[in-house]
Chains A and B, each alone.
Chain A
Amino acid sequence: LAKTTQPISMDSYEGQEVNITCSHNNIATNDYITWYQQFPSQGPRFIIQGYKTKVTNEVASLFIPADRKSSTLSLPRVSLSDTAVYYCLVGDPWTNAGKSTFGDGTTLTVKP
């Protein structure tokens, strides 16, 4: 399973765009990249998933360069409620029952 590396923590201010980068140098051909968000005392929640180039949904965008060795989660105009831990996962959803390895995550703190 591909190992991921993320910054341990990041600070931002309300209204700013936040970009969290994840490194996954040994990503395999069939692996997808998935991001989860976790608030205190709750389980992680799916944010976005992608394979290559750019994916956008109502809460975030995911940018994946051509070599796929890294990816960037972009949160537009963050608010205080976006303060959470963000996890990047890499895994093949078609094998291993979608088993992926959670890294240590990035703790994002949004300040007023």
Chain B
Amino acid sequence: DVKVTQSSRYLVKRTGEKVFLECVQDMDHENMFWYRQDPGLGLRLIYFSYDVKMKEKGDIPEGYSVSREKKERFSLILESASTNQTSMYLCASSPLTGSQHFGDGTRLSIL
């Protein structure tokens, strides 16, 4: 069974901190995704990656960056955390043309 593991279920950080959210998948999937989910706004795509070192912006990339140095790992970076980045963050992976498999999310609070 596909497993997508996000490093933390809950995380509390302070405004201005650099924050790293890590995601690892164990199925050798080519594609990986980062979403944020907010009440009333559904899931919004931040970035996705279709190969190692390759990335493309999603719908809301501002304030975020990503890193994919290895195929199984996709990191989301908040360069300077702000309170409006308090949210649920979801990572997903998929094979080239298959459906997405999601982790259980990281609930991030920025104080």
Q: CA separation between A11 and B88, bound complex, in Å?
A: 26
Interface string of A17-38 (1 = CB under 8 A from B): 0000000000000000010100
B45 touches A99 (CB 8 A): yes
Give the number of chain B interface residues (Cβ < 8 Å).
31
Q: Looking across the interface, which residue of chain A has its beta carbon closest to that of B95?
A: A98
Take A98-B100, A99-B45 as given contacts and tell me if A43 and B31 are in contact as well, using a CB distance cutoff of 8 Å: no
Q: Known pairs A41-B104, A97-B96. 11 more at Cβ < 8 A? A: A36-B100, A41-B105, A42-B104, A43-B4, A44-B100, A46-B99, A87-B42, A93-B97, A97-B48, A98-B100, A104-B40
B98 touches A102 (CB 8 A): no
- Name the prevailing secondary structure of the A interface residues: loop
Q: What are 11 residue pairs bridging A and B, where the CB atoms are less than 8 Å apart in the complex? A: A42-B105, A43-B4, A43-B105, A46-B101, A93-B97, A97-B31, A99-B58, A102-B35, A102-B42, A102-B43, A104-B41
Is B17 on the interface with A (CB-CB < 8 A)?
Answer: no
Q: CA separation between A42 and B101, bound complex, in Å?
A: 11
A105 touches B42 (CB 8 A): yes
